[in-house]
């Protein structure tokens, strides 16, 4: 498996894309890079295709350090970045098989991003009816502007070890303050499990990026929008990753007010849990 060009994860693409294809849902989809790649090859992006054999191969996948979060960390693997895992055309049994994979591979942190958080919540609630939230599954939603803040409300009602928001492409100012509430921990600094208060805890990680690509319709990001979110994150102790500014290619630097890169990750042990007997793990 190739390492990823996406700044905030170690791996993406290849077998991690066991779902390919999608349909647009909101303004952030207007210049979807995955659709552009598909159309370049004359393929129909709106036809969602699932590859269960890739899931089987991921069970045996052996990632190799170094990883972006430093020595001793796990690899961060971004699944389905050319589609949406929670698209209506992805069968529930495929989502279930993915969750079983996450369970079977605790040596990897699995990164999911969706614009369809209602279905994500339903599927995760079903999973958690019999199983605790998966400590190595990072659930995220895209919020490109304030029209889509409702996605965060859905995310915060979803049982998850770690919740994150991708503001990419950021299309306007976004007030994140209401969503960065205190993280609920007990006296040992461990989050309680199977606890509604825990599920309601605020966001753990914020990623900001602008649209890239050759399209003349590319929509620029105003840096003060990003700085406002960065300031709120700093105030509330939530890590922020400034991914990129707008440009013809990905990776154009997006810097803070002091001209520095900001590439923060959630604390490595942010998601320790208690088991049913109350023992920290
Ligand atoms: S949800 Fe994502 S993959 Fe699907 S069309 Fe929108 S931008 Fe593209």
Which of 66, 62, 48 is CA-nearest to residue 15? Answer: 62
Architecture in CATH for domain 14-20+51-244: Alpha-Beta Horseshoe (3.80)
Taking residues 181-192, what's their average pLDDT?
Answer: 54
pTM for the model stands at 0.91
Atom 5 of ligand 1, residue of closest alpha carbon: 24
Cβ-in-10-Å burial (0-12, 13-18, 19+) of 68 comes to middle
pLDDT at position 248 over 70? yes
Half-sphere exposure for 271 (CA within 13 Å, toward CB): 23
Atom 6 of ligand 1, residue of closest alpha carbon: 29
**CB 79 near ligand 1, within 6 Å:** no
Task: List pLDDT tens digits, range 143-179.
Answer: 999 999 999 999 988 888 789 999 999 999 999 998 9
Q: How far is Cα 159 from Cα 40, in angstroms, rounded to an integer?
A: 38
**CB 22 near ligand 1, within 6 Å:** yes
Task: List pLDDT tens digits, range 125-148.
Answer: 999 888 777 888 999 999 999 999
**CB 83 near ligand 1, within 6 Å:** yes
For residue 280, report the distance from its CA to the centre of ligand 1, in Å. 38
Q: What pLDDT, on the 0 to 100 scale, is given for residue 6? A: 95
Q: Are 159 and 125 spatial neighbours (Cβ–Cβ below 8 Å)?
A: yes
Backbone angles phi, psi at 162, to 5 degrees: -150, 130
**CB 123 near ligand 1, within 6 Å:** no
Q: How far is Cα 88 from Cα 257, in angstroms, rounded to an integer?
A: 41
Q: What pLDDT, on the 0 to 100 scale, is given for residue 187? A: 52
Q: How far is Cα 201 from Cα 133, in angstroms, rounded to an integer?
A: 14
* Nearest-atom index, ligand 1, CA of 116: 1
Task: List pLDDT tens digits, range 42-82.
Answer: 999 999 999 999 999 999 999 999 999 988 889 999 999 99
> What sign does the dihedral 202-219-118-128 (CA atoms) show?
negative
Domain ranges of the chain: 14-20+51-244
Q: What pLDDT, on the 0 to 100 scale, is given for residue 134? A: 85
Q: What pLDDT, on the 0 to 100 scale, is given for residue 22? A: 98
Q: What pLDDT, on the 0 to 100 scale, is given for residue 191? A: 53
| Residue-by-residue DSSP string for 163-190 | EEEEETT--S----GGG-PPPP--TTS-
């Amino acid at each position: 498996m190739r390492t990823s060009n996406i700044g905030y994860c170690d791996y993406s693409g290849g077998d991690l894309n066991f779902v390919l294809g999608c349909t647009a849902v909101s303004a952030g989809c207007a210049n979807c890079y995955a659709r552009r790649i598909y159309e370049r090859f004359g393929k129909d992006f709106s036809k969602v295709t699932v590859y269960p054999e890739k899931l089987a191969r991921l069970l045996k996948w052996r990632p190799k350090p170094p990883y972006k979060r430093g020595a001793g960390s796990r690899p961060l693997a971004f699944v389905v970045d050319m589609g949406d895992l929670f698209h209506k055309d992805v069968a529930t049994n495929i989502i279930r098989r993915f969750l079983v994979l996450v369970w079977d591979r605790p040596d990897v942190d699995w990164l999911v991003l969706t614009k369809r958080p209602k279905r994500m919540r339903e599927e995760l609630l079903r999973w958690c009816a019999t199983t605790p939230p998966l400590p190595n599954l990072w659930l995220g939603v895209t919020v490109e502007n304030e029209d889509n803040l409702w996605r965060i409300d859905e995310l915060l009602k979803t049982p998850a070890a770690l919740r994150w928001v991708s503001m990419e492409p950021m299309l306007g100012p976004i007030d994140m303050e209401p969503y960065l509430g205190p993280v609920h921990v007990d006296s040992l600094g461990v989050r309680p499990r199977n606890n509604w208060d825990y599920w309601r805890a605020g966001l753990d990680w914020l990623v900001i990026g602008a649209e890239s690509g050759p399209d003349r319709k590319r929509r620029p990001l105003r840096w003060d929008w990003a700085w406002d979110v960065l300031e709120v994150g700093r105030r509330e102790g939530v890590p922020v990753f400034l991914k990129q500014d707008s440009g013809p290619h990905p990776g154009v630097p997006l810097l803070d007010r002091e001209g520095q890169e900001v590439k923060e990750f959630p604390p490595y042990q942010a998601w320790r849990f208690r088991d049913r007997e109350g023992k920290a793990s």
